[in-house]
């Protein structure tokens, strides 16, 4: 039984926090599944992309594109990419492939559309893969603590092409900033000592949202991240624990907002 992908994917959780653990395990599970399929079926139909190569190429080429949107690649962005490669525990030849893909994506002539189309094909019916992919792109975008206007526009276009809403973009950014812990990043979302603002960001609602709007956002997030969803994917105890912690985060945010409405 192959297990290295789950172990490597789980390490991504060290970067992204509790939800990252679930996403990391999910993406690791898919790497393992893809590897097994590649070994069993040497030749695939022409309209099916090889899972591992497609995921690796798409992930790191789009990272290069995101890093280069504002016209230059910083040392902080390179450190983030290096950390992601390290946590995924890629073999040396795949590390080289990852950096080649990153450099290709950093080329000014690169357009991410074809890579995103391939990614959607291999991740069809596997939303956790898309979420893990987008979390990694968000981390690169926030490598320096903030995000330029051009980077935000470009990243939103990537989200849209993958079918991710503006609300989910805001939620992903808010949670990424909270986990990063950098004062400059947190200040872009709101003061670190303002739990209500942070709670609204987690729920993806406006500071002045009506209680009914808050309740709908809460129920939508709980349905999306509920441990039962993870259980149905058979990702193991670590993923279940991460899902419980994530739902706890959502519940605490909900209680914070609703308490302020009383």
Q: What angle do CA 198, 204, 208 make, to 5 degrees?
A: 75
- pLDDT per residue over 198-208, tens digit each? 888 888 888 88
- pLDDT per residue over 208-242, tens digit each? 888 899 999 999 888 887 777 666 666 556 666 77
Nearest-angstrom CA–CA distance, 155 and 161: 10
- pLDDT reported for residue 22: 45
Nearest-angstrom CA–CA distance, 9 and 222: 23
Three-class secondary structure assignment of 153-164: HHHHHHHHHCCC
Domain parsing of the chain, residue ranges: 4-182, 190-262
Q: What angle do CA 241, 133, 213 make, to 5 degrees?
A: 65
CATH class assigned to 190-262:
mainly alpha
Query: Helix 166-180 and helix 127-141: axis angle, to 10°?
Result: 60
Nearest to 102 by CA among 59, 71, 137: 59
User: CA 63 → CA 14, 56, 99, 135, 226, distances in Å?
Assistant: 19, 11, 10, 11, 29
- pLDDT reported for residue 231: 65
Max avg pLDDT among 74-78, 120-124, 192-196: 74-78
Tell me the pTM.
0.55
Look up residue 43 and give its DSSP letter. S
Nearest-angstrom CA–CA distance, 53 and 49: 8
Residue recorded with tokens 């419980």: 244
Helix (H, G, I), strand (E, B) or coil at 3: coil
């Amino acid at each position: 039984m192959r297990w290295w992908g789950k172990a490597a994917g789980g390490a991504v959780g060290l970067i992204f926090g509790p939800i990252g653990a679930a996403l990391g395990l999910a993406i690791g599970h898919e790497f393992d599944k893809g590897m097994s399929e590649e070994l069993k079926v040497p030749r695939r139909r022409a309209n099916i992309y090889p899972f591992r190569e497609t995921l690796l190429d798409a992930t790191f080429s789009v990272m290069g594109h995101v890093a280069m949107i504002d016209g230059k690649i910083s040392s902080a962005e390179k450190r983030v990419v290096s950390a992601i490669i390290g946590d995924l525990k890629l073999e040396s030849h795949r590390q080289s492939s990852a950096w080649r893909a990153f450099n290709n994506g950093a080329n000014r002539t690169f357009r991410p559309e074809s890579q995103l189309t391939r990614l959607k094909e291999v991740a069809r019916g596997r939303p956790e893969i898309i979420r893990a992919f987008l979390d990694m792109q968000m981390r690169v975008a926030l490598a320096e603590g903030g995000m330029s206007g051009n980077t935000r526009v470009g990243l939103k276009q990537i989200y849209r092409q993958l079918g991710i809403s503006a609300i989910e973009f805001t939620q992903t950014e808010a949670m990424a900033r909270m986990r990063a812990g950098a004062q400059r990043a947190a200040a872009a979302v709101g003061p670190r000592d303002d739990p209500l603002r942070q709670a609204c960001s987690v729920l993806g609602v406006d500071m002045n949202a009506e209680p009914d709007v808050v309740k709908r956002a809460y129920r939508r997030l709980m349905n999306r991240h509920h441990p039962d969803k993870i259980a149905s994917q058979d990702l193991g105890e670590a993923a279940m624990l991460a899902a419980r912690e994530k739902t706890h985060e959502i519940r605490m945010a909900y209680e914070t907002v609703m308490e302020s409405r009383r």
